[in-house]
Amino acid sequence: MTAPAPSYEVRALAGLPEIAPGDDLARLIADAAPDLRDGDVLLVTSKIVSKAEGRIVAADSREAAIDAETVRVVARRGTLRIVENRQGLVMAAAGVDASNTAAGTVLLLPEDPDASARALRAGLARLLSVDVGVIVTDTFGRPWRNGLTDVAIGAAGVRVLDDLRGGTDAHGNPLTATVTATADELAAAGDLVKGKATGCPVAVVRGLGHVLGEGAGRDLVRAPADDMFRLGTSEAVREAVTQRRTVRAFTDEPVDPGAVRRAVAAAVTAPAPHHTTPWRFVLLESEAARTKLLDAMRDAWIADLERDGKSAESIAKRIRRGDVLRRAPYLVVPCLVTDGAHHYGHARRDAAEREMFVVAMGAGVQNFLVALAGERLGSAWVSSTMFCRDVVREVLGLPADWDPMGAVAVGHAAGAPAERPAREASAFIEVR
């Protein structure tokens, strides 16, 4: 006998009054749905939860309310802001709503949507002796997709994620990445019957009792470390610039050569004089190449320090301080070439010409360091190769007109870098 095809029922709940601060929302839902059964799932629009919890605030400006609820700006375009709010949700306008509320007021999201869902579930269990799931929903836009849909922002008694990894599909292929957002699918189904202007802020799903279980809305929020799209374009650039730090301790994790090459591609977009391309990047990807260069540089440095009359103890201390390059799993030697430079036969003008190329080199290396930070790689730009350029050129087999401009240690940071002291831009600005 053929098994019946899976099916479920979703219906809007009629009969709820206008919700006011202090209302017992569980009681009102129980009165409107005395026929709730074990295994049902309630989909409750966050607006009525917020109203019952008194999350209505006076606001002269919705923008000011958004500011107060924002933890981090993810992206901004004109007046539209996508932000991370106090609940950890990334959404437009922090979830602050000026609709369905009196003039001069705005509606904030529930302070803790998961706690709200737990309270509703417990209240319905007490009033109707039923075991139901509760999902608090809100309307979201989505990256890469037009239109809005309801998603789960809080949950209780529902397995919000269905992890299918380790299983197989109908053809026996292994499932290695499939984790279904069950709670979001339920929220969207409920919105089909609730609508936005029907006065039916609650829906009931029946026939999917297997989705009941442990879960919370916060389980649906992707961890920052796993979020490849945590920032908008301009915000990502700004964060890479402002969050770049000099890293002096690295893990043993290997560096992706492709990431370094992408950083070089960013480096060579820097401005340069006379439409020249004065940057060259020597990538030391083998341990043998790094060791050979660093040993030769160390010997040259020791010889210089001995000529300066430094003691053995002082020399050893200086050598240890320069060991950041040895601790890195990857080294890059940026070099300056001045092909295309103008020669004036005048010392001051020729010196200024070289300075222009050096500035362009600095701009290229800064691009390089920022791009590495965007690849989640730490770096330290160390000047040591500039003091023994002949040695570096000989060891690496570089042309005589390539000037090594320091070395960049690259790797995965062994820990969080120290906080940089706050710098007020105004301290560095003069206006005329």
Using one digit for the tens of pLDDT, what is the confidence trace for 229-244?
Answer: 777 777 777 777 777 8
CATH number of 9-55+110-226: 3.30.1330.100
Q: Is 339 helix (H, G, I), strand (E, B) or coil?
A: coil
Q: What average pLDDT does the segment 406-416 reach? A: 93
Query: Do 9-55+110-226 and 244-428 have matching folds?
Result: no
Q: What is the pTM of this model?
A: 0.68
Q: How many CB atoms lie within 10 A of CB 152?
A: 31
**Residue 321 has what pLDDT?**
67
Using one digit for the tens of pLDDT, what is the confidence trace for 312-321?
Answer: 888 888 777 6
Using one digit for the tens of pLDDT, what is the confidence trace for 129-167?
Answer: 999 999 999 999 888 899 999 999 999 999 999 887 777
Is the backbone of residue 406 left (phi > 0), alpha (psi -120 to 50) or beta?
Answer: left
**Residue 100 to residue 195: CA distance in whole angstroms:** 14
* The CATH number, out of the four listed (3.40.50.300, 3.40.109.10, 3.90.1010.10, 3.10.129.10), of the domain defined by the range 244-428: 3.40.109.10
**Residue 134 to residue 23: CA distance in whole angstroms:** 18
Using one digit for the tens of pLDDT, what is the confidence trace for 390-404?
Answer: 999 999 999 999 999
**Residue 320 to residue 340: CA distance in whole angstroms:** 40
Whether residue 266 is predicted with pLDDT greater than 70 in this model: the reply is yes
Which residue in the block uniquely carries the two structure tokens 């001051």? 348
Using one digit for the tens of pLDDT, what is the confidence trace for 383-392?
Answer: 989 989 999 9
As given in the structure block, the two tokens for residue 351 are 């010196």
* 328 in Cβ contact with 411 (< 8 Å): yes
Is the backbone of residue 213 left (phi > 0), alpha (psi -120 to 50) or beta?
Answer: left
Distances (CA, A) of 12 to 19, 46, 123, 148: 17, 15, 20, 19
**Residue 196 has what pLDDT?**
65
Whether residue 368 is predicted with pLDDT greater than 90 in this model: the reply is yes
Q: What average pLDDT does the segment 301-319 reach? A: 84
**Residue 324 has what pLDDT?**
84
407-411/378-382 β-pairing: antiparallel
**Residue 307 has what pLDDT?**
87
Least reliable range by pLDDT among 191-195, 269-273, 332-336, 417-421: 417-421
Mean pLDDT of the chain: 90
**Residue 237 has what pLDDT?**
74
**Residue 9 has what pLDDT?**
96
* 141 in Cβ contact with 159 (< 8 Å): no
Residues sharing a CB contact under 8 Å with residue 374, sequence separation 6 or more, in sequence order: 236, 240, 263
105-107/403-404 β-pairing: unpaired
* Banded pLDDT at 175 (limits 50, 70, 90): confident
* 151 in Cβ contact with 188 (< 8 Å): yes
**Domain residue spans of the chain:** 9-55+110-226, 244-428
Find the DSSP H helices in 53-181: 62-69, 113-128
